[in-house]
Amino acid sequence: MQSFIWNAFFFIVALGLLVAIHEFGHFWVARRCGVRVERFSIGFGKKLWSWVGHDGTEYVLALIPLGGYVKMLDERVEPVPAELKHLAFNTQPLWQRALIVAAGPIANFLLAIVAFWLMLMVGIPGVKPILGDIPAGTVAAQSGLRSGQQVIAVNDRPVSDWHAVMLSLISQVGDSAVSVKVKTSNGDIQTHTLDLSNWRIGKESVNSNPLKNIGVVQYQPKIHLQVAQTVANSPAANSGLQKGDKLIAVNQIKLTSWQQFTALVRHHAGSAIELTIERDGLRHYIKVVPEKRQHNGQVYGFMGVAPEVEAFPDDYLITMQYGPLEALVKGTERTWQMTRVTLDMLGKLVSGKVSVENLSGPISIAKGAGQSAHYGFIYFLGFLALVSVNLGILNLVPLPILDGGHLLFFAIEAVTGRPVSERILDVGMRIGASVLVIVMMFALFNDLMRL
């Protein structure tokens, strides 16, 4: 329950900020173009708070925090007195109307740049992209990549941390191949070509690292078969397992790795297992019944125990920090990279190269908000930047009811020399609303299946 409240709170904070920035883009440009704004609302439904400013605009905070809107004077919505027609949205020149509509998504991209700028000035902790143990037979192993090598470029684009490697490789899904440049432990530079012709991102990758499917594995510090902590009221805690206990065997099967232990636990959902542990130099035998859990229709066992993990070597850790001007340049570059990757993934969703089961809805976004806030302010800013870019792109999709749909109608008007008819607008809005509802319901269904 506490986790739900935490996630919900930061979801509302994040969404409220993103919506406010988006709608402020429309509002600010509309006012500069001489359009009268009658209402600026964050949220829908019943008013929780409202205030009328000196400019005559009513500022509203509404009950349902899932969006917002800017209501402008418009003859298409309601009659406008003759003396106020020059202040109506629909009477403005085409270029001004287009600018007002585009200002919302533009504001979202600017927010992402500002968020990345702040992050890069404060400093983003990261890890050098050092490769871990490459599984035999994988695409990465066949290309010649080896453990201990540091990735320095993907398709000749420099990368400085593991996050950049992930973004660069995921953007290549559906391509035939990708080149990866690495630096070996003795300083040699090598280039390897990975065959991606059979790489797809399906539902099995939603909650896992899709790079593992091609064998690109990040270096991880050694995980010991020793208990670091147990989750309160979990099977591990209730069985008496304690911090510092060394795991020796499961059902008399000797353990050699933490991965082996978790695999055995997952395969014994709801059935008792015997743990052999070492505590204070003495052996003990503990009966545990892993809790049954379900994900994507698959049942697995859960114990609620975390291992002792060695720290990353100091020379593997980096902090990306820049002065104000360089941080602004880097922040703009990051925003563009995020935009490019998002557009690539959107296209691959449509083409089927990426499963539609990767679509996320409000529950996943809420979890992301809560988790990023838990890690700290820098990570929450990164989450805001990511969602803001996605919100900007989504609103530019040429679908009636979205900003992109309005811009499409304006483009038609520019070509034909006359506005799109009210009938076409109405039909387009109905179709757009239906498509949007279907997509949102599908994303929500994906969220519920991941619970």
Active site residues: 23
Residue holding tokens 């020149």? Answer: 93
Closest CA to 23 of 49, 54, 62: 62
CA 414 to chain centroid, in Å, comes to 36
Residue 18: both structure tokens together? 């993103």
Distances (CA, A) of 68 to 22, 113, 148, 257, 383: 9, 22, 50, 51, 20
C-beta separation of 121 from 321 below 8 A: yes
C-beta separation of 248 from 276 below 8 A: yes
Rounded to 5 degrees, φ, ψ at 179 are: -100, 135
Rounded Cα distance, 437 and 427, in Å: 15
Rounded Cα distance, 295 and 291, in Å: 13
C-beta separation of 447 from 358 below 8 A: no
Rounded to 5 degrees, φ, ψ at 313 are: -55, 145
Residue 120: both structure tokens together? 């890069």
Residue holding tokens 């055995």? Answer: 264
Name the CA dihedral angle for 262, 267, 270, 275, rounded to a multiple of 10 degrees. -50
Rounded Cα distance, 66 and 8, in Å: 12
Residue 252: both structure tokens together? 């008399």
For residue 338, the surrounding DSSP H or E stretch is: helix 324-351
